[in-house]
Amino acid sequence: MAETSIKIRGKKQTVFKDKVKEIIPGGGNLDLCLTCGACASGCPASGLEDMDPRKFLRMCAMGLDEEATSSPWVWMCTMCQRCIYVCPMQIDIPQLIYNARATWPREDRPKGIRDSCDMALRNDSNSAMGTAPDDFVFVVGDVLDEYREAQPEFKDMVAPIDKPNTQFFVNQNSREPNVEPDEMVPLWKILHLAGVDWTYGSKGWAAENYCMFLADDKCWDHVTRVSAKQADDLGCKVFLNTE
């Protein structure tokens, strides 16, 4: 009878897992996963590409670098962090997702996210739709005048831009002044009725940051600093991001 030999191989070499453990506080706690599935139960991306946060995490923990980082599912995660809140071990799965995205060559990352990030870098608005500061100022003023006239009960409503020393520096999704300007007004009404001291900035007013979702640290840093600097220059006390 022929003998059957079984070779026990050494620990699988992994680069991604070790890199992530260096970044995430506490070593990432990957090996503490209980496989309870709580993360997958509340994840809006569960089931897409036959993947969910639990499966992704187990791939990372087992050193399946290529399978984990190359899955298109990493681009379907919304980075909402719901999985962290329900995880009994507080494992930071979105941080794993971010680092998986960063392993992709930039030209291979989703075109829509990449183009939106690049558009935000073209002027100081940070707008993913390329809206310049002057255009934003014009649209806000035009819409404000229209509603003040049409709704006398809001004749004193304001939508200030570059007002110094306010309590709040408020951002706005850049889609709204471009294609849905009326969608800005409900926020103005709330702030008006609440008596809030606030302002937009002509620079850094766009609230979205596609460079973050692209996992482009350099561009993410630039976009964030443009907004933060404008808030600081105006002397605003609180940065309020509507996204």
| Domain residue extents for the chain | 16-104, 112-240
The whole-number pLDDT of residue 33 equals 80
SS (H, E, C) 45-73: CCCHHHCCHHHHHHHHHCCCHHHHHHCHH
Q: Which residues of the chain have pLDDT under 50?
A: 1-2, 4-10, 27
**pLDDT tens string 207-236:** 999 999 999 999 999 999 999 999 999 999
Q: What is the pLDDT of residue 104?
A: 95
Distance CA 106, CA 5 (A): 45
Q: Using an 8 Å Cβ cutoff, are 124 and 226 in contact?
A: yes
Q: Determine the pLDDT at residue 60.
A: 84
What does the pLDDT read at residue 243? 79
User: For residue 7, what pLDDT is reported?
Assistant: 45
Q: What is the pLDDT, as a whole number, of residue 197?
A: 98
pLDDT of residue 1: 47
What's residue 4's pLDDT? 45
Residue 79 has which token pair? 């980075």
Gap between the terminal Cα atoms of the chain: 69
